[in-house]
Structures are given as structure tokens and as C-alpha cells.
Amino acid sequence: MANTPTAIRAKGKWSNLSKHACRLYFLLIILQVPLFRVQCRSGMCTTPIQVTSSQLISSDVFPLPVVKALLYPGAVVNGLISNMTVPSWDNLLSVYNLTSIKEASAVTDLQRLEVLAGSYFCVAGSLIGLVKPGRMSMFGTLLVIWGLVKEGILGKPVNTDPTKAVFVYPTMLLALVCAFLSVKYDIKKVVRSTPAQPVAKPLKSSSKSKLK
């Protein structure tokens, strides 16, 4: 029977997979787990939040406290791991080299539009995914990966400094898996939308005509 207790429990377990994936993806983003290393306006960025924060502050899209609220959870975790200290709210911008970000050149970000746009989608998708799982995180992660591949393999833009070379951490694979699993697929809807193929039945009169 399809509605056995075991089948119902299995169905409920897999139905919550996208929610768990969204939560794990949110933690990877908001706690600023290093996913990559790429040049950005503030220097070298290792997380999507660092990439977006430098752009948000320089363009004044959001108030400064909103950007600092995005940076603070990861700054606390990194401070506790590195030297067992909690950074202060007032010195948060200096920790990420964002105090004079408005005077920095925007050429670095313009040369890496895929990474910049993908980071925006990653951060927004991680926040929206807590309310409603969707495809924004997956799209942003793929866009970031394409930008890193384009620079690391295709050499666009050209980088002659080995200390500023693109690097991808193994945690990027975990983020990619979580981004794909965060997409909620409705199996019932797919099955219902599939048209039923007509089955050809032999004519009853054909067997009688052969006997005659």
C-alpha cells in the first residue's frame, strides 16, 4: 500500500529536505564560511557577504547599520575562532577594510560582474529561503562559480599577481549541493502534468474474422 506508515514517514522526511538545505545554506552565508578567494573593491573577499557589503556601502543602497548587521555574525564567529575576541560594532568596518571603500576604484568589481551579481543572489536567496525555498540561491551560486571559472581557467580578467589568484575552497561544493537541494520540487504536480499515453487494444472482430 502506498499510504503505509513507513511511506508516510519517508515522504515527510524528504519533503523537509529543502528546508534543511535552506537553513544550512543560510548558515554558510551569514556566518561567512570561506567559499572562494577573489579580488574585490575592499581587497580580497572570501564570502558573498564581503563582496556585496563593499558594493552596498560604496553605492549607499542600504543604510550602514543594515550592512553592518549582515557582517556582524560572521565577524563574531571569525573573531572567536582566530583570537577568541568579539569585534566591536563601531570597529566592524575597519575589520573588513571598508572604512574608505567609497574612494576605492570600481574597476575590480566591474571586471567580475558575475561574481558580484551572483553574490547578491546568494545573500538574498539565503535570507528569502528561510521563508520560502526557491531557486535564487542556486542561480547565484552557479553565477559565482561561472565567474570564478572564467577568471581562473579562461584568464578573464588577466591577473599577473599569484597572491591575488582565484581560489575555490571545498566548502563551495557544500554550498552548491545545498543550493540545489533548497529547490522544492513537487513530484505530484509533475506526475499529474504528464499526459497519459493511450494503450492500443486489439479489435474483438479481428479474431472472429480470422476463424471464418
Mean pLDDT of 135-149: 92
Confidence check: pLDDT of 2 > 60: no
Confidence check: pLDDT of 5 > 80: no
Mean pLDDT of 132-158: 86
Confidence check: pLDDT of 107 > 50: yes
Neighbours of 130 (CB within 10 A): 13
The mean-pLDDT minimum among 32-46, 74-88, 148-162 falls in 148-162
What pLDDT shows up at residue 1? 46
Taking only the tens place, the pLDDT of each residue in 156-165 is: 777 767 777 8
Between CA 94 and CA 173, with CA 141 as vertex, the angle to 5 degrees is 95
